[in-house]
Structure 1
């Protein structure tokens, strides 16, 4: 029986960095952009200094008048109030000054375990699928985020490389299962219920919302240990210690830092700006996501040209590479291991999405990294799915077949089961919105469609501007006049959605983001701006507690930059 001990806290060490000196002669009254900082200067006094790093995903904020905009995901910072448009506040930097200069505190920290193990037993790392790997050391195995079968996000995501035949035994025999967060490509209930016993030891981050823990307990698992961030946990009698690190973007997401024998591993998973980039140095292996394309924006939005869509997709492919290069620069790994990006749009009905939603390849990642860091070994876990870390690293591919192919018959079986299980129900739809408690100057035009987003079910016009929503079932002919009315004083959000997917969300009170991330809808808007209050309410508030995901609003995490003026 594996036992986990809570031993101590990660050590945090300030690196040797000099404060940044800024000449006061360069400042004008008002907002100043000097190097990597925004400075408010008024009546010959410094009011505040902030950095130009977006608190969401570490993008570089670009000044636009009194605002600063992140080009990665469209977060907007008001440079007067120092609040983002989702009310999250930006932290002011400490500074001192004399008659000539401002001295801005330049704090860069690294973290480390209080003591590092030096056991030289080899550590074996096996790639299983997507974000699922096995770490095997001295007879103890840890498996991360197991998704082995079926789909995620309403049959929109499928495993690009299904697991091999040895994966089921690996999962069943795992000593510890780590769940990073409760998105279904990481906390995949179908996989867990099929192959994991209810008393299996599962560890997850101790999020304030208990988001992962709630889903696991609802699924029947009873041996769950929520881990506090940056505490150091040890496997009793084995030289394995680990710590969970928080995503820096206010979402419920986490990464895992491990000391396994004499090897140091960091898995950032899907975390943005992980641990505010206070990270360990001199890693043996760094694991990060790499592919991009994990969003319904812009491919599910009808207000953009093909050229605009291509531009956003390319921008975000590049952005994730730049982010990973920042992490590499901070952690100086010997080996870089791209993972948590091996999904695809396998269903035939999503071929258009698959063609448009281009993703980074491992080869592109390797070329990008090795241009600057030629000595870092970049692993392709598809070509070599086993890595053994000893005095030297050894790579090879396990000689066994994949369990299945995500071919037409496989995907259609899942989709048809959804269609048979979730049928249109007008009363359920009306009751769902009547009880939603949502009020906004917004009209939702909701159309129930077939696989090709052709209207086959009812059409609803839902006006949220009154004290309680006004819900009207209308003929298709009523929608074009509404969408073209120049005198409309309310915003309009039109969502065409596959019938079975919508009914699954409504019947189970699931997050509406599952529809967009899973490519299950087509969206248009008047005006063409992101209706953040709607998506926040129906993704975070009006959902079953067992499906709760985020403890704070994530701005445009899943829909990215949905304002055309920031695309170019």
Structure 2
């Protein structure tokens, strides 16, 4: 399958007319000439990483001489270019900074707090564009730059007033949402039947009885990544029998979403692989853009859908969507919330992996995820936030131990935390079949 993807991409490069063709497995690669790129700008070996001190570290690339700043603390590493956003000056250590978090520009004395990537002099001016820090298996690291960092700003559109019923978001189950956008219906990650991860996960919520009919009637489908709670071959097999030519869109990940399509024998004929960071125009009002994950760019993606200038952001399972740079004040934001650890460490035993150790590990991981999601939502300030993509259960009898011990966050807990620290953000905790009328909700947040 991978070979076919590569061969098709090579043909597209040699002859643009191939972009209009369907290959044998029904996959089309759309033009990627203006796509968002990920470039490694600095690599440090394990010894250099170990030598990083707490606080601010200045580093220079031996390849091109460009300079970077790496900030280290107990939470990990953050990095950026050593270049002021004001007029491109170089930062140096700020001798007035007693906490070791601030650098000063040599041109106009602008100051950047590298721990937060916010400029503190002048205050509330800019955010520094952050580089993604990728830790390598050998203990080294790479700094990766996305270009452009905010591709959704291309061709901006002013929001138009939405009428009642014009934009509806219907929750079906787990990560499956149906968006009615004018006359178009857009479906996300349809897992409607059968288990995922062999028999490890099962749907917590029974989807509405007409869910498969809705899926077959969709104008377009987005599948975020290849994990089987998002790419459900049992669901797609039923879809292919009824409507094999439904348009399906996936990101151009290095590990293709439909890696196992040929082996699955599922006959879908209209799979479109789209470049990252490029608006895909569906009609005069509707467009969408797929973005890569900063931590797992080889397989994970998220999506921005825009209708009449109103943005819906779905970060799905991304660990650090788009390297942490996302649009602010979108109309609706959706993300996962549950956490849990069905594999590690629940299936490990012996040594340190006692029940008490695993319970503490899971508790800490859940807490970290809950705080991260709440902090992310608070920083982006969406008008409405909806937690989803976490409604699964280990239902098979052989997984009873995991089900009883693998505790997860609840959507209610996350929304309560957001309501506590950002009460201006309205939250929605959906149940199967629940509908959010975006036009009504934006006019009256209590009318959802």
Normalising by the smaller structure, the TM-score range is 0.5 to 0.7
- 8 Å contact from structure 2 (residues 378, 421) kept in 1: no
Report the counterpart of residue 148 of structure 1 in structure 2. Answer: 192
1:294-326 deviations in Å (ceiling 9; x for gaps): 541111110311221111111111121222123
Query: For the residues of structure 1 that align with 2:279 and 2:363, how far apart are their CA atoms?
Result: 39
Report the counterpart of residue 56 of structure 1 in structure 2. Answer: none
Report the counterpart of residue 184 of structure 1 in structure 2. Answer: 228
- 8 Å contact from structure 2 (residues 172, 432) kept in 1: no
1:489-541 deviations in Å (ceiling 9; x for gaps): xxxxxxxxxxxxxxxxxxxxxxxxxxxxxxxxxxxxxxxxxxxxxxxxxxxxx
Report the counterpart of residue 347 of structure 1 in structure 2. Answer: 396
Structure 2 residue corresponding to 1:195, chosen from 228, 232, 239:
239
Question: Bigger radius of gyration, 1 or 2?
Answer: 1
1:449-483 deviations in Å (ceiling 9; x for gaps): xxxxxxxxxxxxxxxxxxxxxxxxxxxxxxxxxxx
- 8 Å contact from structure 2 (residues 286, 307) kept in 1: yes
Q: Does 1:245 align with 2:291?
A: yes
Map 1:42-61 to 2 at 5 A: 49-52=69-72, 60-61=75-76
1:209-255 deviations in Å (ceiling 9; x for gaps): 3x213334553212111110000111124x11110010111341100
- Superposition RMSD on alpha carbons, in Å? 3.3
1:410-433 deviations in Å (ceiling 9; x for gaps): xxxxxxxxxxxxxxxxxxxxxxxx
Taking a change above 3 Å as real, the CA distance of residues 6 and 325 of structure 1, as seen in their structure-2 partners, is farther
Once the two structures are TM-superposed, the CA of residue 32 in structure 1 deviates from its matched residue by 2.9
Q: Does 1:204 align with 2:204?
A: no
Query: For the residues of structure 2 that align with 1:296 and 1:112, how far apart are their CA atoms?
Result: 39
Query: For the residues of structure 1 that align with 2:280 and 2:327, how far apart are their CA atoms?
Result: 16
Query: For the residues of structure 2 that align with 1:129 and 1:159, how far apart are their CA atoms?
Result: 7
Report the counterpart of residue 506 of structure 1 in structure 2. Answer: none
Map 1:83-162 to 2 at 5 A: 93-94=81-82, 96=90, 101=95, 102-103=103-104, 106=117, 107-108=128-129, 111-116=152-157, 118-119=159-160, 120-121=162-163, 122-162=166-206
Report the counterpart of residue 438 of structure 1 in structure 2. Answer: none
Taking a change above 3 Å as real, the CA distance of residues 142 and 94 of structure 1, as seen in their structure-2 partners, is same
Taking a change above 3 Å as real, the CA distance of residues 284 and 7 of structure 1, as seen in their structure-2 partners, is farther
Report the counterpart of residue 310 of structure 1 in structure 2. Answer: 359
Report the counterpart of residue 485 of structure 1 in structure 2. Answer: none
Q: Does 1:296 align with 2:317?
A: no
- 8 Å contact from structure 1 (residues 126, 133) kept in 2: yes
Query: For the residues of structure 1 that align with 2:35 and 2:381, how far apart are their CA atoms?
Result: 19
Report the counterpart of residue 378 of structure 1 in structure 2. Answer: 427
Taking a change above 3 Å as real, the CA distance of residues 100 and 272 of structure 1, as seen in their structure-2 partners, is closer
Map 1:238-277 to 2 at 5 A: 239-250=285-296, 251-277=298-324
Taking a change above 3 Å as real, the CA distance of residues 198 and 384 of structure 1, as seen in their structure-2 partners, is closer
Q: Does 1:334 align with 2:380?
A: no
SS of aligned partner of 1:387:
strand
Taking a change above 3 Å as real, the CA distance of residues 319 and 166 of structure 1, as seen in their structure-2 partners, is same
Unaligned segments of structure 1, at least 5 residues? 12-29, 42-46, 54-58, 62-67, 69-89, 397-568
Alignment length, in residue pairs? 337
Map 1:65-84 to 2 at 5 A: none
Once the two structures are TM-superposed, the CA of residue 31 in structure 1 deviates from its matched residue by 4.1
Query: For the residues of structure 2 that align with 1:390 and 1:232, how far apart are their CA atoms?
Result: 23
- 8 Å contact from structure 1 (residues 270, 340) kept in 2: yes
Q: Does 1:213 align with 2:258?
A: yes
SS of aligned partner of 1:214:
coil
Taking a change above 3 Å as real, the CA distance of residues 395 and 171 of structure 1, as seen in their structure-2 partners, is farther
TM-score, length of structure 2 as denominator length? 0.68
1:373-397 deviations in Å (ceiling 9; x for gaps): 112222111177211111435899x
SS of aligned partner of 1:333:
coil
Structure 1 residue corresponding to 2:214, chosen from 170, 189, 197:
170
Structure 2 residue corresponding to 1:226, chosen from 270, 273, 278:
273
Query: For the residues of structure 2 that align with 1:356 and 1:389, how far apart are their CA atoms?
Result: 38
Query: For the residues of structure 1 that align with 2:398 and 2:377, how far apart are their CA atoms?
Result: 38
Unaligned segments of structure 2, at least 5 residues? 1-28, 37-50, 61-66, 84-89, 96-102, 106-111, 118-127, 130-148
Structure 2 residue corresponding to 1:357, chosen from 401, 406, 418:
406
- 8 Å contact from structure 1 (residues 279, 330) kept in 2: no
Report the counterpart of residue 368 of structure 2 in structure 1. Answer: 319
Once the two structures are TM-superposed, the CA of residue 40 in structure 1 deviates from its matched residue by 7.4
Query: For the residues of structure 1 that align with 2:244 and 2:394, how far apart are their CA atoms?
Result: 31
- 8 Å contact from structure 2 (residues 206, 432) kept in 1: no
SS of aligned partner of 2:206:
coil
